[in-house]
């Protein structure tokens, strides 16, 4: 009994030591690069966001900053958008994806969630079920975007992959694709997503957790998309049923109702992506509709992610200050010369 207890304790300590720690500073950098993917491939705005994420930009050699809209669903001719940034001075490659580009694309994702999911296989071995839409999109992302980007600018030692909404699903699939092709070591890969939907079942979620050592799924309060497609509830979370949707861990839940505030987050169960004490605990219809009208899916770290990217990762507060400063300056000039 004592030996069993000691073994259990050692296992727990080993898990605690080896578990990745959430880094909010890195998460915000990832958020800025994800926002940059919303700029319609505006390289100036993308570079501005990169400069803000990595302030020592003047000393950084950029091998390439590229943005690309590419075919990501052969059945529906949908487009996805990603950016590929190589920071040689940091020995880092950053790959970021924006969310759904049009409402029809969202409907196709919804439609696929009601169809039979497909096996996710590696080396002929199945590792659970995954939505057919995300499986196709992940494969086409590698074929139509990443393969050419990597050929032009080889991956650096460290890789950060990030994305919002649909882009979060693409980030997961991209991480798996790079590992499957032995293009990155697991300890050199970090994946951070924002408002990511459920993309596969429980077995697939467990496999994702086993492959991606540094993996965090950031959720803002009652953001509706992380609860899409709906899982089969057990009254206190989701049932672990084959082919039924189930999230991977580790959820980072920011429980602030309207504005997501830095530092105010909860690290959820590292082994269970459907922690009933995090965003799953309060998903009634009223809260869901409220979150929809408050646009919590788009608002992360206090800004609408698309508008934030289109402003060159300049916060709305900073923009207001700049406009106020400009107005005061103009008034001073008018007062002086009139």
Rounded Cα gap, residues 99 and 46, in angstroms: 16
Q: What SS3 state is found at 282?
A: helix
Question: Looking at the DSSP assignment, which residues form a beta bridge with residue 126?
Answer: 121
Domain assignment of residue 306, given as a range: 23-337
Q: What SS3 state is found at 160?
A: strand
Both tokens of residue 188?
A: 């050199």
Confidence of residue 287 (pLDDT cuts 50, 70, 90): low
Confidence of residue 39 (pLDDT cuts 50, 70, 90): very high
Whether the per-residue pLDDT at 116 is higher than 90: the answer is no
pLDDT of residue 294: 54
Decide: 97 and 34 in contact? Cβ < 8 Å: yes
Question: What CATH code is carried by the domain that includes residue 61?
Answer: 3.40.50.1820
Q: Identify which of 159-168, 225-234, 309-318 has the greatest average pLDDT.
A: 159-168
Confidence of residue 114 (pLDDT cuts 50, 70, 90): low
Rounded Cα gap, residues 313 and 48, in angstroms: 7
- What pTM was computed for the model? 0.85
Is the pLDDT higher at 99 or at 58?
Answer: 99
Least confident stretch, 119-123, 214-218, 312-316: 312-316
Instruction: Show Cβ contacts of residue 45 under 8 Å, excluding neighbours closer than 6 positions.
Output: 36, 39, 309, 310, 311, 312
Q: How many domains does the chain have?
A: 1
Whether the per-residue pLDDT at 295 is higher than 60: the answer is yes
Q: CA distances (Å), 190 to each of 34, 38, 59, 98, 179, in order?
A: 14, 21, 24, 17, 12
- Is residue 262 included in any domain, yes or no? yes
Query: φ, ψ for residue 160 (rounded to 5)?
Result: -115, 125
- Is residue 14 included in any domain, yes or no? no
Rounded Cα gap, residues 334 and 338, in angstroms: 6
327-336 mean pLDDT: 40
pLDDT of residue 258: 72
Rounded Cα gap, residues 136 and 77, in angstroms: 12
- Is residue 191 included in any domain, yes or no? yes
Instruction: For residue 55, say if its preceding peptide bond is cis, omega within 30 degrees of 0.
Output: no
Decide: 242 and 123 in contact? Cβ < 8 Å: no
Rounded Cα gap, residues 327 and 98, in angstroms: 34
pLDDT of residue 274: 96
- Is residue 310 included in any domain, yes or no? yes
pLDDT of residue 41: 84
pLDDT tens-digit series, residues 11-26: 333 344 346 899 999 9
pLDDT of residue 60: 52
Both tokens of residue 327?
A: 């107005």
CA 250 to chain centre: 12
- Is residue 291 included in any domain, yes or no? yes
Whether the per-residue pLDDT at 35 is higher than 90: the answer is yes
Whether the per-residue pLDDT at 268 is higher than 50: the answer is yes
Query: φ, ψ for residue 217 (rounded to 5)?
Result: -115, 105
Rounded Cα gap, residues 180 and 27, in angstroms: 25
CA neighbor of 308 nearest in space, from 166, 192, 194: 194
Cβ atoms within 10 Å of 115's Cβ, excluding its own: 10
Rounded Cα gap, residues 129 and 204, in angstroms: 6
pLDDT of residue 207: 98
pLDDT of residue 180: 97
293-305 mean pLDDT: 84
What proportion of the chain, given as a percentage, has pLDDT over 90?
Answer: 60
Is the pLDDT higher at 113 or at 44?
Answer: 44
Is the pLDDT higher at 298 or at 336?
Answer: 298
Q: What SS3 state is found at 256?
A: coil
- Is residue 18 included in any domain, yes or no? no
Kind of pairing, strands 92-97 and 158-164? parallel
pLDDT of residue 284: 56
pLDDT of residue 64: 61
Kind of pairing, strands 78-87 and 92-97? antiparallel
Return the residue matching tokens 């296992």.
Answer: 11
């Amino acid at each position: 009994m004592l030996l069993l207890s000691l073994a259990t304790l050692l296992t727990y300590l080993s898990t605690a030591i080896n578990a990745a720690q959430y880094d909010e500073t890195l998460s915000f950098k990832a958020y800025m690069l994800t926002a940059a993917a919303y700029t319609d491939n505006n390289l100036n705005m993308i570079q501005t966001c990169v400069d803000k994420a990595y302030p020592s930009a003047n000393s950084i050699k950029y091998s390439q900053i590229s943005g690309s809209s590419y075919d990501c669903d052969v059945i529906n001719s949908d487009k996805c958008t990603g950016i590929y940034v190589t920071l040689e001075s940091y020995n880092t490659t950053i790959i970021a994806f924006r969310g759904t580009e049009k409402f029809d694309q969202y409907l196709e994702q919804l439609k696929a969630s009601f169809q039979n999911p497909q096996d996710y296989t590696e080396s002929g071995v199945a590792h659970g079920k995954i939505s057919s839409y995300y499986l196709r999109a992940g494969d086409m992302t590698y074929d139509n975007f990443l393969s050419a980007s990597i050929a032009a600018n080889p991956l650096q030692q460290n890789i950060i992959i990030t994305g919002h909404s649909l882009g979060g699903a693409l980030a997961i699939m991209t991480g798996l694709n790079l590992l499957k092709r032995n293009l990155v070591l697991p300890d050199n890969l970090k994946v951070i997503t924002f408002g990511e939907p459920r993309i596969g079942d429980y077995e697939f979620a467990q496999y994702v957790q086993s492959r991606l050592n540094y993996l965090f799924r950031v959720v803002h309060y009652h953001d509706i998309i992380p609860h899409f497609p709906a899982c089969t509830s057990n009254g206190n979370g989701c049932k672990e049923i084959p082919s039924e949707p189930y999230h991977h861990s580790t959820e980072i839940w920011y429980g602030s109702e309207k504005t997501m505030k830095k530092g105010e987050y909860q690290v959820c169960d590292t082994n269970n992506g459907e922690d009933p004490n995090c965003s799953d605990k309060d998903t009634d219809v009223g809260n869901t509709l409220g979150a929809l009208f408050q646009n919590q899916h788009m608002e992360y770290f206090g800004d609408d992610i698309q508008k934030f990217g289109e402003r060159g990762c300049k916060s709305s507060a900073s923009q207001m200050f700049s406009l106020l400063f400009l107005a005061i300056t103009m008034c001073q000039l008018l007062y002086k010369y009139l």
